[in-house]
């Protein structure tokens, strides 16, 4: 038996000498790696990354509410999840509307008796345009859908997250928040704003037992990047981006949802205010390293 100096460590070491101790340690470990009975709101869960986050959280035992703008697609997903035995409800909401956000949070509060453990601000949209083509409408569209909605949803969720005694916010940002990429100047700028929010929210709400973290993906195979795959110039552009990515491929939604779930677990209880890139290594490759030449 290893002699551990720290008091709690020694107690654990002594306890592990007995079967009962091993059983208790097992229970404690299971609790640290479970979301059993925890409540979650995942925005934009009908497709892509949001869909995968719902499945991951549900597998860990969470009870989830989601939203999107398309009733038919939402109903199809809810039926699928019901068949899989997941506890997922949903409502139609356009997150760019303050009135609809407020209505959504009322529904969530009523479903979950005023307590919410997890808010995943996932829904987002993009506009692909060079700087001189961006107009006022694009500015308003990206600001309302990607920034105002996320900020305000977090404000509206605050009383519920606080009431749970163990709250978590996950923002979904993007690699475009930290490196210059063609045609996404506006999108990248608002994602960068979300990175900054992570730090402010984490510091201001730590006293309320709310942790706040951001996950920033690179190219993930969803509807959002599908248009690129559909025409030769798009595919060429995609390939040129991937050729500079150390792991030379796009990511899968499941490779994002696993980190989101981890950050919500009690096992991650000391992590807050962090921006974590899921990027196949692109953000650490300043361009001098060509993975295809090795």
Query: Looking at 13, 60, 91, 94, which residue binds ligand NAP (CB under 6 A)?
Result: 94
Q: Does 154 bind ligand NAP (CB under 6 A)?
A: no
From the candidates 51, 86, 187, 277, which is the catalytic residue? 187
CA-wise closest residue to 121 among 66, 183, 62, 39: 66
- Cβ distance to ligand NAP smaller for residue 88 or 219: 219
Strands (E), the chain: 39-43, 63-68, 88-92, 118-121, 167-172, 210-217, 275-278
Number of residues forming the site for ligand NAP (CB under 6 A): 31
**Can you spell out the DSSP letters for 85-133?**
T--EEEEE--TT-HHHHHHHHHHHHHHTTT--SEEEE---------GGG
Residue 104: both structure tokens together = 């959504």
List residues bridging with 275 in a β-sheet: 214
- Cβ distance to ligand NAP smaller for residue 164 or 213: 213
Q: Does 102 bind ligand NAP (CB under 6 A)?
A: no
Write the interaction track for ligand NAP spanning residues 3-42; mark x where CB under 6 A is met and - where it is not: ----------------------------------------
Q: Answer yes or no: are the C-beta atoms of 57 and 261 closer than 8 Å.
A: yes
Active site includes 270?
Answer: no
* Residue 294 C-beta-side C-alpha neighbours within 13 Å: 10
CB of 131 to ligand NAP, least distance (A): 19
By CB under 6 A, what part of segment 52-71 binds ligand NAP? 67-70
Residues 6+ apart with CB under 8 A from 201: 154, 169, 210, 212
- Cβ distance to ligand NAP smaller for residue 145 or 164: 145
Q: Does 223 bind ligand NAP (CB under 6 A)?
A: yes
List residues bridging with 119 in a β-sheet: 41, 169
CB of 154 to ligand NAP, least distance (A): 14
Strands (E), 137-178: 167-172
Q: Tokens 């499945």 belong to which residue?
A: 55
- Cβ distance to ligand NAP smaller for residue 169 or 220: 220
Write the interaction track for ligand NAP spanning residues 117-136; mark x where CB under 6 A is met and - where it is not: -----xxxx-----------
Residue 173: both structure tokens together = 């940002």
Q: Does 272 bind ligand NAP (CB under 6 A)?
A: no
Positions marked catalytic? 187
Catalog residues that contact ligand NAP under the rule CB under 6 A: 43-50, 67-70, 73, 93-96, 122-125, 145, 172, 174, 217, 219-220, 222-225
């Amino acid at each position: 038996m290893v002699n551990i100096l720290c008091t709690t460590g020694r107690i654990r070491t002594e306890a592990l000498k007995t079967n009962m101790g091993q059983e208790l340690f097992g229970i404690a470990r299971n609790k640290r790696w479970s979301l059993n009975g925890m409540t979650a709101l995942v925005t934009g869960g009908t497709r892509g990354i949001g869909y995968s986050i719902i499945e991951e959280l549900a597998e860990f035992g969470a009870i989830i509410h989601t939203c999107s703008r398309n009733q038919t697609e939402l109903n199809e997903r809810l039926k699928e999840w019901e068949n899989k035995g997941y506890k997922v409800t949903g409502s139609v909401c356009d997150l760019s509307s303050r009135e609809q956000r407020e209505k959504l949070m009322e529904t969530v509060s009523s479903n979950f008796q005023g307590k919410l453990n997890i808010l995943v601000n996932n829904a987002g949209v993009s506009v692909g345009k060079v700087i001189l083509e961006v107009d006022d409408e694009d500015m308003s569209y990206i600001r309302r859908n990607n920034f105002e909605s996320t900020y305000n949803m977090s404000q509206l969720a605050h009383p519920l997250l606080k009431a749970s005694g163990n709250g978590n916010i996950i923002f979904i940002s993007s690699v475009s928040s930290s490196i210059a990429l063609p045609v996404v100047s506006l999108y990248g700028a608002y994602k960068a704003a979300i990175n900054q929010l992570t730090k402010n929210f984490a510091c201001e709400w730590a006293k309320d037992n709310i942790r706040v973290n951001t996950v920033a993906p690179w190219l993930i195979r969803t509807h959002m990047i599908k248009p690129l795959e559909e025409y030769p110039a798009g595919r060429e552009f995609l390939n040129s981006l991937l050729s500079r990515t150390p792991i030379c491929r796009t990511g899968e939604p499941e490779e994002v949802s696993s980190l989101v779930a981890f950050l919500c677990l009690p096992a991650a209880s000391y992590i807050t205010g962090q921006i974590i890139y899921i990027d196949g290594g692109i953000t650490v490759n300043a361009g001098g390293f060509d993975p295809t030449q090795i």
